[in-house]
Each structure stands twice: as C-alpha cells, then as structure tokens.
Amino acid sequence: MSQQTIKNLADLLASGKTSSVELCQDYLARIGARNPELNAFITVDPDKTLAEARAADAARAAGSAGPLTGVPVAHKDIFCAEGWLTTCGSRMLHNFVSPYDAHVISQFKAAGMPTLGKTNMDEFAMGSSNETSHFGAVKNPWDVARVPGGSSGGSAACVAAGLAPAATGTDTGGSIRQPAALTGITGLKPTYGVVSRYGMIAFASSLDQAGPMARTAEDCALLLNVMAGFDERDSTSLERENEDYARDLAKPLNGLRIGLPKEFFGAGLTGDTAQAVQAAINEFRKLGATTVEVSLPNSGLSVAAYYVIAPAEASSNLSRFDGVRYGYRTKDYTDLTDMYEKTRAEGFGAEVKRRILIGTYVLSHGYYDAYYIQAQKLRRLIAQDFAKAYEQCDVILGPTAPTTAFKLGEKADDPVQMYLSDIYTIAVNLAGLPGISMPCGFDAQGLPIGLQLIGDYFAEARMLNVAHQYQLATDWHQRTPGGY
C-alpha cells in the first residue's frame, strides 16, 4: 500500500476496498517507524490527521466526495496551516502555530485530503541539499549518507520512501525538481502565478511557486487540479479559467518537437547522467517525437542573475522577522535595536544570513544599478531565449541536475558548488515557465537520475502528457529504494 499512486489510492477508496482512516493509520505507522532515520517530517499530529480522515470517510458515505477525497498528503513546512506548527525549517519560527491556512492548504482541505504532517526543508527554502534546516538534515532514502536535494527535500524523501503518497513543495530556483531528481520521484513546478502564494512564507516573491511531488506525472496532474486556481488575496495569482491538467495524458506523441539546448549537455554533466538522458531521448523518438537542437545562450548566466535577484527579495521579505510580533526572540537584550540584532543573529542560520547580506548589498545605494538592475535585464534576456526556442519546438528536454545525490556535508563549505546544483533549473524560474522532473535511470552507484521537461507558459497539460507517455513506456518511476 505504501508505494501506491494517488490514482490507485483514489480508486481503492471509491470502490470501498479501503478507508481514509485505514490509509492514514498505515502511513502514520510508517512515519513513526522510518522518520527517525530520514528526518523527513518536522511535525506529525495523528489526532488531527485521523480527524480529517474520518471526515473524508463520512463525505464518501454521504455521496459528497471529490475525486481525491480521503487520499492523504504531506505538506512542506513553508505553508501556513491553521493549528499546525509552521516553522519554515528555522529557529526563527520554531514555536509559531499558524492561525490560518495558506491557499494551497485550504484547497486540499476542500478536496477532502487529510494532512499527514509538515515536512522538513532548508531554512526559509534557502538551500539545495536540505542541510540548512534548524531541525537537522534530511537523509536520502536511496542512501542515507547522501542528501535528498533541497529545499523541498523532506517532501521528496517522504514520497520516495513511501511515508506519503504525495507531498507539496515550493520551487524558487529548482527546489521541487532538483530534490525530485535526487530521490527518483516526479515533481512539477507550474507556470508562475498558476498556484497562489498566499500563506506560503516568502523567500523570493517573483520566483516562488508551489507545486506537487508524487510518484507519477498522472498523480502530479491530479494534484495540480486541486492546487491551481485564482486567489484574490495574492496579487500575483493569475485570473484564468480552471482547467483539467489530466485531459491530455492519453494523447500520443506523434509530431511532438523536443528541443535539446546545447548549453545543457556540456561541461559539468556527469557521464552517467548524460547517458541516461540520451537513452530517454531515444525513447521519445520511438514514441513518435522528433528532436531539434535549440540554444539558450544566456542560460549559463542564470545562476549569477538568480543569486542577485533572489537574495535581494529575501532581504526584504525576511525583515518581518524581528522578534516583536511572533517567532523567536532573544532572551537577553538592552534595548530595541539590541533585541533586533540578537534575535536575528540567533534566529537565522548561516545560509539565510549569507543571502540577506548579499541581498542588502546589491540593493544598497551605489550597487543597485550595477548589480540588481543588470540581473533583471539578464532575466528578460533569458525569457526571450526560451521564447525564441519555442518557435522551433513544443517542449524542451534536458537533465534536471548535473549530478546525482552527493554526500551529506560534501558541499556544505563551498556555497558556489552548492549553488551550481541548480544550474539547469534556475532559468525556468527566472522566466516563470513550467517544468517537471521525472526519473530516467540510475548511475553506477544505484542513485536516481532526473530528466527535466520545460514547457511554454500555461502548457502544463501538454508537458504532463509528454511525461506520462514516457512513464507508460518505462518503469524508472516504479523503482523504490531498498528497504522501503
């Protein structure tokens, strides 16, 4: 039962072969047994979970259930959830119990999907390895000596290990897709604005986007149907008609044009990853797709642009954490200024402080024009590169990450090498495009390799169709870590 898809669980519930309470009890038992090893969850509350499960079963008995009613899901601890501890992986919010629900949480509640718990994450979503969390590093279930990727590493690890059938994540520079790749699951970042950011604790407001993480592309389509929708409380939420993201899953790929960016297949890509991606390209050709080389000439500068823009926005967003209204406050201080300084010095971790300092610097007088404005100009050029590429193709394909999961602590002392883990994903966020990562093979050490598809704006249904057809033809997404 633990490795069932969302679709399979929904069918079992609809047929009466199981109940939501039984499902949740099974997953809670697995969390209790395996989470101490993986550290994927920060907070679990069985009483809350089972109360929601009983309500879901009652809805099914009354004939008022939706397609996914009763299917449990885990949520990244960046989403405010009423009555739940919401920490964002930081000491700064270690005792914050949210008084309201994020839009994403309320959407899942409305769908009748019980919450299994809040998953561990890099502090304030700043990291690529899930090692910056105040609550300790998350372990990769494929090898507990390795990272699961970040910042949504807890969500990725719990799905890969079968502690939850699906989880929510957020993607600012690759934080859904990169951990999905490193743990062998499927993760989707929607077009910017398709999913409301209301109640999602902000890192970089123009880049953050929530999305689903599950075993299959089909599951991600069903979950996006729940998550997406206009929300007037979020000024960046797009007012569009609701759509069924699963509508095109069964379409054949005959005539599909796949763009292969030459910049994604150069130096830095490991041999095992390159071979697995090439094998996937060959599989798509068998399915009727054609390939064309495209160019994203400014993509190599995306990391540099991102690490100006994202820290700049973070330095503004995190100024709200001052120890006055909520969250951590230092015990000993002499005056208000001293309280601010000590609270932030003690409450924020090293990576968060690093990014706040960088962001404040690039926004300061004399450097704003030299760094921040230039980065924004480069961002526009990156978006234009994608627009030009889509004149020649329908989707873009490449590796999700240049390597498989690295060892815990291996890059902790080298921020630049850590940042380069997201070299293939960041450009997608800068352009606001949708992207999906799915497993396409394993390296010589038995670690999963991720394949990334990038769609044009609002092309999630087409992108999910391409991913689903690949998964029907292969079984990489069905592989599970040993012992789980």
Catalytic residue list contains 76: yes
Catalytic residue list contains 302: no
- The four Cα atoms 199, 204, 207, 208 give a dihedral, to 10 degrees, of -30
Q: Are 340 and 322 in contact (CB under 8 A)?
A: yes
Q: How far apart are CA 461 and CA 60, in angstroms?
A: 28
Residue of 7, 19, 20, 76 marked catalytic: 76
- In terms of Cβ atoms closer than 10 Å to its own Cβ (0-12, 13-18, 19+), residue 370 is exposed
Q: Which residues contact 59 (CB under 8 A, 6 or more apart)?
A: 65, 69, 70, 112
Q: What is the DSSP string of 283-308?
A: HHHHTT-EEEEE--TTGGGHHHHHHH
Residue among 67, 77, 72, 124 nearest 97 (CA): 77
Residue of 19, 90, 151, 237 marked catalytic: 151
User: Which two three-digit tokens encode residue 475?
Assistant: 């079984």
Coil, strand or helix: which one is 157? helix
Q: Are 98 and 82 in contact (CB under 8 A)?
A: yes
Q: How far apart are CA 71 and CA 108, in angstroms?
A: 10
3-class secondary structure for 174-220?
CCCHHHHHHHCCEEEECCCCCCCCCCECCCCCCCCCEEEEECCHHHH
Catalytic residue list contains 64: no
Q: Are 229 and 238 in contact (CB under 8 A)?
A: no
User: Which two three-digit tokens encode residue 394?
Assistant: 């329908």
Residue 301 Cα to chain centre, angstroms: 22
Q: How far apart are CA 285 and CA 258, in angstroms?
A: 9
- The residues facing 123 across adjacent strands are none
Report, as residue numbers or ranges, the catalytic residues: 76, 151, 175
